[in-house]
């Protein structure tokens, strides 16, 4: 219920941002047009954002025949988590990563790159997919999926800001600074929204995934491997659609300096440290 409320607040915030931008660029008519656009975007995001994100990442659905071992592992983990079997997708990318999407556990999907299947052992891969199932169980995939599609819409709006600002009788922008500020601030606002909703939920999904798989060490090792390989292998689909980065188990676009301020994930070292603390405390002695 809490994540549903957060999603509603996010939608309301984005709607307000659209209205403000519309007003700055087109007065009352711009505000009305922006309101209509935002309402349509909210409807689309709630019902179809998962499909859009899967298309953005070029994910292809698989079944038990095409990837029997991977599919069976997810089915086993879903049963352990008390979740319906999600749809399963593979992304033909060498960069190792994975994510979950969908508006609720009954309409959920999990996706992994072909690269992650290559670098992780079966045990480590189970840890990663358990993490993604924890996102579904916690019902926070809706807000991340909606945020991805809305961030894309905000970025598109900012790109049009300079071209659709008001003009005077001589064709000059009536408020050129407004267009410039919108173009700068709108993407930053989208990044801040993504950062706010993502960092705490990753810690919770790590903990929940460790509980589902009964193996916190496996996820810790997997995160270290993903972090190492992700530095050298670009995730092309995410580079083309950076708004999807916050959905991944590890942000493939994370950087240093200013970029780190807008990172949608907590530091990998801290995530690994928390998972290994679970091991040290003997939370799951049966797998150690």
- 163 burial (CB, 10 Å; 0-12 / 13-18 / 19+) is exposed
User: Contact, 279 vs 217, CB < 8 A?
Assistant: yes
Residue range 190-214: mean pLDDT, rounded: 80
User: Contact, 167 vs 121, CB < 8 A?
Assistant: no
Range of the domain at 262: 2-287
Secondary structure element (H or E) that encloses residue 62, with its range: strand 59-62
Bridge partners of 88, per DSSP, are 62, 110
Q: How far apart are CA 178 and CA 181, in angstroms?
A: 5
Q: How far apart are CA 213 and CA 219, in angstroms?
A: 9
Residue range 133-152: mean pLDDT, rounded: 80
In sequence order, the 6+-apart residues with CB closer than 8 A to the CB of 91 are 57, 58, 59, 60, 97, 111, 112, 113, 114, 237
Q: Which of helix, strand or coil describes residue 88?
A: strand
Long-range contacts of 242-245 (CB under 8 A, 24+ apart): 243/147, 243/148, 243/149, 243/151, 243/152, 243/155, 243/190, 243/194, 244/53, 244/56, 244/57, 244/99, 244/148
130 compared with 264, residue with greater pLDDT: 130
pLDDT bin (cut points 50, 70, 90) of residue 286 is very low
Total domain count for the chain?
Answer: 1
Give the number of C-alpha atoms closer than 13 A to the C-alpha of residue 266, restricted to the C-beta side.
15
pLDDT digits (tens, 9 = 90+) for 153-200: 666 666 665 555 555 555 555 556 556 666 666 666 666 565 556 677
Q: How far apart are CA 256 and CA 271, in angstroms?
A: 17
pLDDT digits (tens, 9 = 90+) for 16-37: 777 776 676 666 776 777 777 7
pLDDT digits (tens, 9 = 90+) for 62-103: 999 999 999 999 999 999 999 999 999 999 999 999 999 998
Lowest mean pLDDT among 92-106, 234-248, 261-275: 261-275
pLDDT given for residue 60 in this prediction: 97
Catalytic residue numbers?
132
State the chain's mean pLDDT as an integer. 81
């Amino acid at each position: 219920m809490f994540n549903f409320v957060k999603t509603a607040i996010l939608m309301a915030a984005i709607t307000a941002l659209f209205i403000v931008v519309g007003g700055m660029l087109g007065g009352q008519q711009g505000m009305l047009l922006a309101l209509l656009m935002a309402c349509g975007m909210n409807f689309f995001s709630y019902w179809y954002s998962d499909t859009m994100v899967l298309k953005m990442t070029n994910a292809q659905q698989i079944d038990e025949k095409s990837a029997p071992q991977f599919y069976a592992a997810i089915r086993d983990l879903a049963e352990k988590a008390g979740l319906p079997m999600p749809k399963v997708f593979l992304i033909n990318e060498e960069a190792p990563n994975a994510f979950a999407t969908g508006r609720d556990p009954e309409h959920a999907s999990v996706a992994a790159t072909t690269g992650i299947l290559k670098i992780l052992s079966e045990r480590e891969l189970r840890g990663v997919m358990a993490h993604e199932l924890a996102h579904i169980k916690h019902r926070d995939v809706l807000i991340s999926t909606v945020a991805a599609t809305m961030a894309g819409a905000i970025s598109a709006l900012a790109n049009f800001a300079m071209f659709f600002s008001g003009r005077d009788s001589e064709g000059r922008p009536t408020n050129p600074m407004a267009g410039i500020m919108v173009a700068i601030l709108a993407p930053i606002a989208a990044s801040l929204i993504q950062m706010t909703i993502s960092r705490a939920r990753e810690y919770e999904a790590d903990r929940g995934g460790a509980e589902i798989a009964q193996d916190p060490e496996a996820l810790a090792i997997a995160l270290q491997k993903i972090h190492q390989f992700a530095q050298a292998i670009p995730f092309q689909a995410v580079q083309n659609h950076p708004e999807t980065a916050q959905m991944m188990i590890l942000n493939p676009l994370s950087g240093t300096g200013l970029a780190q301020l807008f990172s949608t994930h907590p530091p990998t070292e801290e995530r690994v440290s928390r998972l290994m603390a679970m091991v040290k405390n003997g939370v799951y002695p049966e797998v150690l």
